[in-house]
Structure 1
Amino acid sequence: MHTVAVLALDQVVPFDLATPLEVFGRVRLPDGRSGYRVHVCAAESPVDAGLFRIDAPWGLDALADADTIIVPGRSVLTPVQDDVLAALRTAAAAGTRIASICSGTFTLAEAGLLDGLRATTHWVAAAALAEQYPAIEVDPDVLYVDNGQILTSAGAAAGLDLCLYLIRRDYGSAVAADAARLSVMPLEREGGQAQFIVHQQPPTPQGSVLEPVLRWMEDNAAREVTLEDIAANSGLSTRTLLRRFREQTGTTPLQWLHRARVRQAQFLLETTAHSIDRIAGQVGFGSPTAFRERFKRITGVSPQAYRNAFQ
């Protein structure tokens, strides 16, 4: 059983604190055992969360026994206590996995754990993070970044994505999928090499004229589809389709289609022993070479590396 320590600091964001407690606390393995032991830790208790106070049963010494430490978001205007920063540095030096939610990235930055690494935080605070900590490569456009031992996530919802991702890393897709269903969340992830980053399809406004054609594209991703096919199905000219698609999704129809195919390939790589060449054909790529190139361009790793990481 993995031990997860959730660090509660003054002015902590309640939702960011509750998310790992809820998600990790509900994980059950196939034999019915709990997947995680969750401890709420603090330098001092109770913790002032603004509207209410939190009793933390464990002190900072519990961080030394944790397999994973979660650092929730908090007010970035309040400096972090020196003993907290020291405890995080000690845990990092010991190889403990440490992940932040939302503005919790600032706590890791203040501890010096992100220097020279790629990191993300809530987009509202990304510019401030980059300005205050120029040694960090700040990426405001992703939901989370995994550097191996140190992970960061964007806003509160991205913190939930990150928790599910960690479960997937620890116990595989089936256990993570059960946790996602309990949280009423999708489980779709794409990988990067040094950092595992989520690239979700851009959202489409509800009621958009594109909704039906996007469903059609998803259903027909495994066959050869041209821009003209998509335009004909949408009832729009190719010129109008391209303009509306870019306006409403931020990408092109064929780029969207490639991502849909890669998501289908990810599922097959995780759940089957089919060869890479067979999967390439199943998801609609004209050749295995084209599939490998597109898969790596979108996810950052080869199909085989993805299978090794997630099957």
Structure 2
Amino acid sequence: MTRRSVLVLLFEGVQSLDVTGPVEVFAGAGRAGGEPYEIRTASLDGGPVRTSSGLRLTPDCALSDAGPPHTLLIPGGEGSRCPAPGLIDRLREYAGRAERVVSVCSGALLLAAAGLLDGRRATTHWALCAQLAEEYPRVTVEPDPVFVRDGPIATSAGVTAGIDLALALIEEDHGRDIALLVARQLVVFLRRPGNQAQFSVQLAAQTARREPLRDLQQWITEHPDADLSVDRLAERTRLSPRHFARAFHAETGTTPGRYVERVRLEQARRLLEETADGVEQISRACGYGTPEAMRRAFVRTLHTAPAEYRRRFRP
């Protein structure tokens, strides 16, 4: 087995960024002073493929001619939802020869179809998580994280999450300094922790149709340190607390309390990532009141304490 080689599976309808994003990260390790990866691409029959955007990619070889890799990368794309005949069987056979198997976006559907995610935790693009859970009930689907590592198999969310996962693997292989240099070359974060949410609270929640509720959503985001109890929020919309709670849930798909909790957590995470403010100062600015209250919120949702969360972002 070639040490720390990377083989990328290509197929008709593959998402080009799912391929090139992680490949650029792995290629950057050698430029940053780490041991270079041997990066190759393969299609089922060795022939060229068209990406979902129309680009033509020519692989290095057929999958059957590729040697066992250290890392097998399975990208996503439209072709992962209707795979070519024989692709799943060949993937099932070939994946057992790799030390670790990595998927990006809807590539998780291919891994699940091959039975490689049975009994494991996994994620994929948020829009496909329900499909993954419904079609493959033996897979424990986690819809929120950017990526999930379960033993030798790692799955990631959409497109840029493949970059985060590749950076995490470089850090595992070569150490934090090399991963940091690669991230700087690509002008991205060292990496988002795997349990970071795939998208912001305002994107995750529906935008209310009625102007008072829509304006309130924005006001909550701008004032996480305010009194955001249901009674106070209802006053701002001139509705009774009961009517307000029902209307908010109907139009946003979540309760006022849950929305506030997520806004505060997102704001706290941003301040931990981008500022040098202390945990006590951040807890007050985000409406938690005390560092202990903020710590409990982090542990409950992210399974990590604020100090550990910051350490992952700041060298």
The 1-side partners of 2:70 and 2:62 are apart by 12
Q: Which residue of 2 aligns with 1:88?
A: 95
How many pairs were matched up? 282
Q: CA deviation digits over 1:43-94, x for unaligned, max 9?
A: 3222565997742235546675565623322425734365543332222xx2
8 Å CA contact 1:42, 1:56 repeated in 2: yes
Letter in 2 for 1:78: P
**Any residues of structure 2 matched to 1:161-176 within 5 Å, and which?**
161-166=160-165, 169=168, 171=179, 175=184
- Aligned twin of 2:75: 71
Q: Which of 210, 222, 225 is the equivalent residue of 1:222?
A: 225
Structure 1 240/20 Cα, relative in aligned 2: closer, same or farther at 3 Å? Answer: same
Runs of 5+ unmatched residues, structure 1: 181-187
Query: Scaled by the length of structure 2, what TM-score is found?
Result: 0.70
- 1:236 aligned partner, one-letter code: L
Structure 2 CA distance for partners of 1:212 and 1:197, relative to 1, 3 Å: closer
Structure 1 226/168 Cα, relative in aligned 2: closer, same or farther at 3 Å?
Answer: farther
| 8 Å CA contact 2:72, 2:102 repeated in 1 | yes
TM-score under structure 1 length normalisation? 0.70
1:88–1:111: 8 Å Cα contact kept in structure 2? Answer: no
Deviation at 1:233, TM superposition (A): 2.6
Match of 2:87, SS?
coil
Matched, 1:291 2:291: no
Of 2, 18, 21, which residue of structure 2 is paired with 1:20?
A: 18
Question: 2:256 aligns to what?
Answer: 253
Q: Is the 8 A contact 1:190 1:198 kept in 2?
A: no
Q: For 1:272 and 1:80, how far apart are their aligned partners in 2?
A: 47
Choose the corresponding residue for 2:274, options 271, 276, 283: 271
The answer to whether the Cα contact below 8 Å between 1:120 and 1:126 also exists between their aligned partners in 2 is: no
Q: Deviations over 1:183-204 (max 9, x none)?
A: xxxxx97754xxx654742332
Query: 1:219 deviation in Å?
Result: 0.8
- SS of the residue 1:159 aligns to: coil
**Per the alignment, do residues 50 and 164 of structure 1 end up closer, same or farther by CA in structure 2, a change over 3 Å counting?**
closer
- Residue type of the alignment partner of 2:205: P
Q: Distance in 2 between matches of 1:39 and 1:46?
A: 14
Unaligned runs of 5+ in 2: 172-178
Distance 1:263 1:253, change over 3 A: same
Match in the other structure for 2:174? none
Secondary structure of the residue aligned to 1:90 is coil
Tell me the secondary structure at the aligned position of residue 147 of structure 1: strand
Deviations 1:150-186 (A, max 9, x none): 2335xxxx42252253266464697599459xxxxxx
Matches of 1:68 and 1:89 in 2, distance apart?
A: 10
Which of residues 49, 56, 59 is equivalent to 2:59? 56
Shift of 1:125: 4.7
Q: Once the two structures are aligned, what percentage of the paired residues are identical?
A: 25
Query: Secondary structure of the residue that 2:102 maps to in structure 1?
Result: strand
How far apart are the structure 1 equivalents of 2:96 and 2:271?
39
CA distance in 2, matches of 1:3, 1:260: 41
Paired position in structure 1 for 2:45:
44
Amino acid in the other structure paired with 1:248: E
CA distance in 1, matches of 2:122, 2:283: 32
Give 1:207 deviation, angstroms.
Answer: 4.7
Distance 1:205 1:268, change over 3 A: closer
Distance 1:282 1:63 in 2: 54
Other-structure match for 1:244: 247
Say if 2:119 is the partner of 1:129: no
Distance in 2, Cα, partners of 1:305 & 1:268: 14
Match of 2:265 in 1: 262
Please give the alpha-carbon distance, in whole angstroms, between the structure 1 residues aligned to 2:24 and 2:84.
33
- Aligned Cα root-mean-square deviation (Å): 4.1
1:101-154 Cα deviation digits (max 9, x unpaired):
21x324323555323211245233532222xxx3x3245x4465502552335x
Relative to structure 1, is the Cα distance of residues 25 and 152 closer, same or farther in structure 2, using a 3 angstrom cutoff?
Answer: closer
